[in-house]
Structure 1
Amino acid sequence: MLPINPFILIFNACALALSLAFLLMVLWYDAKAVVNQLFALFLCFMVLWNLGVVLGEAGKWIDSQGYIVSIGNFVSHIGYVASNAILYALIIKVIGLEIRFFRPLATLAVVVIISYNAFLIVNDTTLVAEQAPPVNPISILLFSIVSLALLWRYRQNNISYDFMIGSLIVIAGQVANLLNASLGLSAVASSIASFGSLIMGTSIIRQTIIWPLRNRESQIKAIHEVNVAITKRATETNALDEIAIQAAKWLQADAVGIFKSSERQMRLVASYQLPERLLNYSVPYGETIVGRLATENQTIFIRQYNTQSYSDEMQLSDIFLDSAVIGSVIAVPLTYDQDIIGGLVIISGRYGKVFQLEDVRQSELLAAQAAVSISVNDLFLQQKSLLQSLTEAHHQLQGVISSTENPVLAVNRALELTFANTKAQEILQLEPEDEGKPIYKLLDIDVIPTDFRNVIRAARRHETYMYSLSVADREYMCHIGKLGDQRIEGWVGVLNDVTELKELDRVKSEMIRMTSHDLKNPIQAAIANLDLLRDDIDSEPLEGESKTEINLSLDNIERQLNNMHRIISGILDLERVRASGLHGDVCSARDVAFEAVDQLMLMARAKNVTLKLNIGASKLSFVGDQTQFERALVNVIENAIKFTPEYGRVDVDVYNDDDDILFSVTDTGIGIPEEMQTHIFERFYRGEQPGAEHISGTGLGLSLVRTVIEKHAGRIWLKSQSGQGTTFFIAVPQTTPDFLTPEA
């Protein structure tokens, strides 16, 4: 047996301490990584091997009974055998071989090997203090040979050359330990293996801890350069090219490609170290690794592309390079707002770096930057296109408004002039430099609405406010509408010259009055003569069928003359209301409603219709002509009674709605079809809905009502469904409206 060198014991003790330090460092940095877990197990069993050797050698000097030597031999043997098996598993994981159920299989194999060798040692009756325990050389040699073969076969795929050298030294120490029985090389072998494990530990710590920390600054710099490229608002290609370059530098890759999704295809838009002919090359969704990014929306990581068999959809060789030169591949989808907008593909050559899970995480970080770059560029292009469209539309609209013969003005919320076309500047004597000035300082008070609250109310109802004004001996009708959808940003006013229309209307009204008077007088004379004729017939002795026929003819003539009289009276009343002004007296809504209902109570009772009045308003005063307003309300209630069948009901309600007094007349009558409702307020229009054939009328009543209500700055509208009754609403403001009187 060879003599034991005390320096070997000292070396083993130091190696033991360093191994424990490496073990703590690896587990502290990342205890979840499989490589770190396997290396930690390997160090644990190497520590057991070294500890057993130290105990065995020390026991020879201090323990005459040999108990310490026996324990040391047992511990060193378990550590020796287990470290040999764990080294094989560690090499498999480091070189990147993918084996299904690798972790449970490796754990089971180690447990079986340790249990078997422990059983051999415990049942060995020849165990003496001076002799090492028996070993299983077959398993040691098998694992050592396979480990050497793997190291040689995948020598380009290891983490580093020092890891491979350390692994070779450990294997040499383990093989040397087989000669322990004949040469007594236990301590020397453990020292050799410990030295190799320290080299391996140094390599792993440098790769997993030191280099990432050292590269952190360069990674931050790379991210900074990528962000600068994005925010410089350069072209999309420039920013993506910068990302491809930084990805290659950061991950030590040999080639990088960035794809953009368009029309169910992935198109190569930026690359690093890829053939130029591939630029703009498109891959359909679902085909190859790139196409699968769009359909699966998850990262694809292939540690060893050239050693694994893939189906057609996993191939890259038909797009990039021959499969013999491709090593590792990381493909990351580019997503924005849960949509696939592209893909990032990072390639390492066959003899290049083998990507790890940490590289995948870094690739996903770069992919996020690429997605932001593509999205920002798309948003910029959309904004640019939208801006161009808005500019063109603005110029077109400005051209149309400027060339129109109608004056157009626009003001903001502060009533400051923001736009006036050429015609408005000419009519209202405005200058271009007046823009931004308050409108009430630029225009006469007669031109501006007297009560701007009515304008705001109309805007809130999404309606147009209209009023008349006179400028330079011309009559205009001004239409004011709001600017803005959710919030009132301002107002736009359009002036329509109605001077000629008003003159035509005056002539028409005069003609109607003259014609009506000319017709009314003869009709009245005819009715009077008809009465005289009836008296003469009654006084003469006419009998039989002659008298009956004459009476029928006279009745028919009288009925037609009365109908003509009602029509002419209605026309005259309508024209009189339109031409006359309103007496601006304070009216009581309560009195108006009571008088109207009282006038029609007998008519309702005669038809067995229930007529009810409900006053729910607290503010009942409005300014207007009580006689005309009462007549209009009577007309609406009378129509409700006419079109309500026997034993029906008519309700008249008066209540407040914001700043308005609201009258509603609801009946249970035959209703008004929807297609007729838009014409119901037109002159001479009579509905022909079923059930209204026997109801007489001139078609002028509701037209008269609307004219009166509009004179009171109010509104009238209806809600109805055929067969379910009708409700008419009349709203008048509580405040004083802008009353207009006809010209003298």
Structure 2
Amino acid sequence: MLPPVELFQHLLEGSPLTTFVYSVTARRLLYVSAAYEQLFPGARCADTDADLPRLLSYLPPDDQVYALHCLGQLAAGELCDDLLLRVQPHPEVPLRWLSVQAWPAVGSDGQRLLCGTVQDVTLEQEYLRNADKYMAKKNTTLEILSHDLAGPFTMLQQLATVLDERTQALDDPLVRKLLRVMEATCRDSVNLIRDFVDGEFMDSANVDYKAIRVDLVQNIRQVVDTYQQGEHLVAKHFAFQTSQPTMYVEIDNNKFLQVINNLMSNAIKFTGEGGHIAVGLTQHPDHVLVTVADDGIGIPAHLLPVLFDRFTPARRPGLRGEKTTGLGMHIIETIVRLHHGRIWVESEENVGTTFYIKLPATVVAG
């Protein structure tokens, strides 16, 4: 039987994962497996120590700062999630994603060590991030279409009610029956549309929480862009403002973009035709502030303290009669808390409403 050291060496050398041992004490790499040379073509295991500064330069500046911060946390014995890093040696070379898993250890000679693995997860990340992108676009499109489709049904329902009142003098049972069928059909159709979209929101909220580091500016810009393309369908104007071109946060992308979609959907419900809805992002040293503001009818002051309650008494129909379950705001607050964030609202009747979401920011350059 092979000695344990030799056995483990064969296992490590045959693994597609790049395995490494770094001495925090000596500030040098003690070991790296042969898979390193496949991970970085042209690199040699014997030259790894000299390669480290060059490999760090392959990371975009934001990822360099983030990686050094997280590795510093690990070296200090602090907990740190697995790292997802982007690598691009040259602009003409496609971007790759690396997953780095590391944990602290102590050597037999007392040296403080970092042991871990590096794996190329480019295909997986491209799939997941494209799926997130199209999921967000799907949810946004559903919100727009739900308001667009519900509008004519609501108008027909209101017309049926008026006609029923105006034709009372005819005393024609058939006319009254047809008008009641028309009114009920329109009401059920509006509810069916809204129930479908609300069901999508509930399903998304119930999926297990999975946070990854993302550029929030890019993701929210895509959502707002879709709303801007549908401005003519909902008769509202949408805007997006950001204090920085990029802002990195660790979020469950699907869940958090559903929060943004739901807040924008509520803004649409309570903002008249030609109104304005704006999403803002502001970078602060330790957090990112997200705002969703409208110039709609506002929220009565007595309802603000209970707005985020489960089955809140603050629920009310939209300007077009859109119904609400009373769960939306409660779920939104729950999702924000999952992200270690905080949400609050400021509103004035007949002036407008602004929702604020404060999220912890990941490390940024400078």
Could you state the TM-score of these two structures normalised by the residue count of structure 1?
A: 0.24
Q: Which of these two proteins has the greater Rg computed from alpha carbons?
A: 1
Q: Which has the higher helix share?
A: 1
Q: Which has the higher strand share?
A: 2
Higher relative contact order (CA 8 A, sep 6+): 2
